[in-house]
Amino acid sequence: MLRNFQTKIDVLLLLGFFLIGNPIFSQELNCRIQVNSTQIPGSNKSVFEALQKSLFEFLNNRSWTKNIYTIEERIECNMMLNLTKQISADEFEGTLQVNSSRPVFSTGYSSPLFIINDKKVKFRYAEGESLDFNETTHNELTSLFAYYVYVVLGYDYDTFSPMGGTEYFQTAEKIVSTAQSSTSTGWKAFEDRKNRYWLIENMLNQIYAPIRSYSYTYHRKGLDEMSKNVADARAKVAEGLQDLLKVHRSKPNSFVMQLFFDAKSDEMIKLFSESPSSEGMRAYNLLKEIDAANAAKYQKIVKKN
């Protein structure tokens, strides 16, 4: 995919695509955004419709990287802004659900990468207001969405090259740093152990690097190779669980490990349910220790073996 190449190679590929007539775009996201205002009383919903339209354009029409994308390469993601309270005419509280996925080579299947429900959302927005973003200036609304764009990019790039998402996680870290002087919630270390601050701290912390490395193994050496040799590809996914176990025993119940399995637990059940009984049992024993919250679900693996 084009997003895995460096700038010089991008240019060569761009020229090649022009020659064969394929459309080239710089926008990275195909993001479906929904603003849910059912909990806000009142019949005038035009401000929420305007907000949804502005967010759609902000997310999908902006270039977030220097890389070149075709339509087919745009990253699939969904964001739902669920508004729960209107504090004033232009101030709102709510939650933001974000999820993204990644296509598996030679299949029509998309693998879930990132799932989160951020419950600390508060911002100001007036109908007709333009949405601008600068990573050195904090804005409650655009900084929030830009932060999650860069997290989504980081997760995606990590699956195509080892630690490939680092620069995008670093940009998200800058957004967090800029937010430290604001009164906005969800950005500071002392507020919660599972918030925007700790998500990006974990992703850039070497202690948790094996989780990111495993994401590359899981997707590129595992899922993407399934169409060639299912047994070998699944074995690589199984072997990599040992690295996750080491992280778990060092830092049990970490936020990024929880996020990984929020996205992957169901997929792993399907994957290992088809494996030989010995491999399935090993995977089950590892998974129930690493991801104890889903231990009951993982019993489906051994019941089918």
Instruction: State pTM to two decimals.
Output: 0.91
pLDDT tens digits for range 116-167: 999 999 999 999 999 999 999 999 999 999 999 999 999 999 999 999 999 9
Q: Over pLDDT 90: what percentage of the chain?
A: 86
> Domain limits of the chain?
1-204, 210-305
Q: Closest by alpha carbon to 30, among 123, 152, 121, 160?
A: 152
Give the pLDDT confidence score for residue 68 in this predicted structure.
Answer: 86
* 183: CB partners within 8 A, 6+ apart: none
Q: Note the pLDDT tens digit of each residue in 36-90.
A: 999 999 878 999 999 999 999 999 999 999 998 888 889 999 999 999 999 999 9
User: Can you tell me the distance from the alpha carbon of 84 to that of 264, in angstroms, rounded to the nearest whole number?
Assistant: 29
With 90 as the cut, is the pLDDT of residue 15 above it?
Answer: no
Inter-residue contact 4 to 73 (CB < 8 Å) = no
CA 22 to chain centre: 28
For residues 111 and 219, the answer to whether their CB atoms sit within 8 Å is: yes
For residue range 219-259, list pLDDT tens digits in order: 999 999 999 999 999 999 999 999 999 999 999 999 999 99
Mean pLDDT of the chain: 91
Ranking 15-19, 118-122, 200-204, 281-285 by mean pLDDT, the lowest is 15-19
